Amino acid sequence: MLSLISKLALPRAEGARSNILWLVLMSVALTVILLPFSSYVAALPLIKTEWGLNNTQAAVIYSAFLVGYAFSALVVIPLTDRFGPKPVFLAAAALSVASHILFPWLGDGIVSASLLRALQGIGLVGVYMPAVRIISDRFAAKGRGAAIGFFVAAGYGGNSLSLVSTGGLMALTTWRTSYLIVSLIAAASLPLAYALLRGHRHAPSGRPSGRLDPTILKVRPIRYMVAGYTLHTLEIFTFQAWLPSFLAAVLVMRGSTAEDAAVVAAAAAGLAFAVGSVGPIIGGALSDRWGRAGTAALIFALSGACAWAIGWMGGLSWSLIVFVAVVYGIATSADSAIYSAGLVDAAPPSRLGSAMAVQAFIGFAGGVAGPIIVGGILDLVPEDIAWGVGFSFLGVLALIAAGLFIRLSAMTRRTQAASSSRQD
């Protein structure tokens, strides 16, 4: 079986069906790698009680993952320019699985948990960005947004499956055992990924050093894509970090026990993330047709509207809250492929690794800040309005981002019109 799968690793210009099957299997591998991705979030209401954490401390542990991702991106991703993305991907996948297996064994407080979460972040950056580069090489520019969107959707699928599976297991056993089980299942991704990438060959353009080149930010479209990715990352990781706790708080307010609320909230949030996993496919395909900037602006406007609404809905019907959470999940994920595809469109091939590294570092720095800021809001603002203020903060940022991409879309249209005029 692995021998058959490995044959798909060789890209063939005439084999569109082979490329699609390969993309599907790569997406399956990512989904399995990410099975323990949200186990910490699913178990957070119980972990906070067991370890005596406040909201800010819980957010610090969550964001340690993003810190590991951001800083390691400056070293790990440029290596793909020199050595190719395959060895980076495989080593990082092994690190990701191992660090998740260790979390329920060794995690016992803010220090140990933060260190293990940082290792998980290093693992993800070495999996996600090199895989995006491999996919970009394999698919033509016209279909690149849709292909990356499909792969990114698998990541969201893994995230939602992580919440649902961990939450379901917690109904039967402890959070530590639940986390360990899904982490061990994730190890099955390693032989699949190796088989799929076995035939991949990297042909570097020029003589890349493998070191970071921050001057790539002088390219204006890249600056916008980095800015958009930063606001997107801040929004989506804050949403993913706090949605289960928000839903659990709503249920506790209605009389549920903390344990029952954690299980139901994990399932509801998992539903929102699962449905939201179609977002990157839709957003990537629309950006291929309508342009990256205009599509990003529309998506940010929708997510901003959801953010302004959901935090103030605690007293409304549970079905309505879950519905808005699902729409919010689609909106926060729909632009995920746009920034990667836009970066590939704009960056010279020999400096693509540096462009991805800069985007990942700056973007995940925003991701680090978001959950902590909202955690601070929840600790400091009066309890009856804390969730509303916290999510409204995300709404403000989303509307700022929408304005940013409306401006970029207008500049792009003017540039295209000027170029067409010169050709005439």
Domains in the chain (CATH in brackets) are 15-198+215-415 (1.20.1250.20)
The answer to whether 351 and 213 have CB atoms below 8 angstroms apart is yes
- The count of residues in the chain is 424
User: H helices of 335-382, where?
Assistant: 336-346, 352-380
Tell me if residue 316 falls in helix, strand or coil. Answer: coil
Phi, psi of 159 (to 5 degrees): -65, -45
N-term to C-term CA, the chain: 56
By the 8 A CB rule, do 27 and 154 touch? yes
- pLDDT value at 412 more than 80: no
**Is 50 exceeded by the pLDDT of residue 423?**
yes
Q: What region does 34 belong to: left with phi over 0, alpha with psi -120 to 50, or beta? A: alpha
Pick the closest to residue 359 from 346, 372, 374 (CA basis).
Answer: 346
CA 313 to chain centre: 26
Cβ neighbours for 322, distance < 8 A, ≥ 6 positions apart:
247, 268, 271, 272
Q: Is the dihedral of CA 24, 26, 28, 30 positive or negative?
A: negative
In this structure, what DSSP letter does residue 210 have? S
What pLDDT sits at residue 2? Answer: 43
In sequence order, the 6+-apart residues with CB closer than 8 A to the CB of 76 are 88, 92, 122, 125, 126, 129, 357
Q: Is 257 exposed, middle or buried (0-12, 13-18, 19+ CB in 10 A)?
A: exposed
Regarding predicted confidence, which is higher, 296 or 12?
296
Backbone angles phi, psi at 155, to 5 degrees: -65, -45
**pLDDT confidence bin for 1, thresholds 50/70/90:** very low
Q: Are 320 and 180 spatial neighbours (Cβ–Cβ below 8 Å)?
A: no
Q: Which is higher by pLDDT, 345 or 402?
A: 402
- pLDDT digit string, tens, across residues 269-318: 888 887 877 887 788 778 777 777 888 889 999 999 999 999 999 889 99
Distance CA 233, CA 246 (A): 19
pLDDT at 179: 94
pLDDT band at 257 (very low <50, low <70, confident <90, very high): confident
Best CA proximity match to 292, nearest among 217, 343, 231, 232: 343
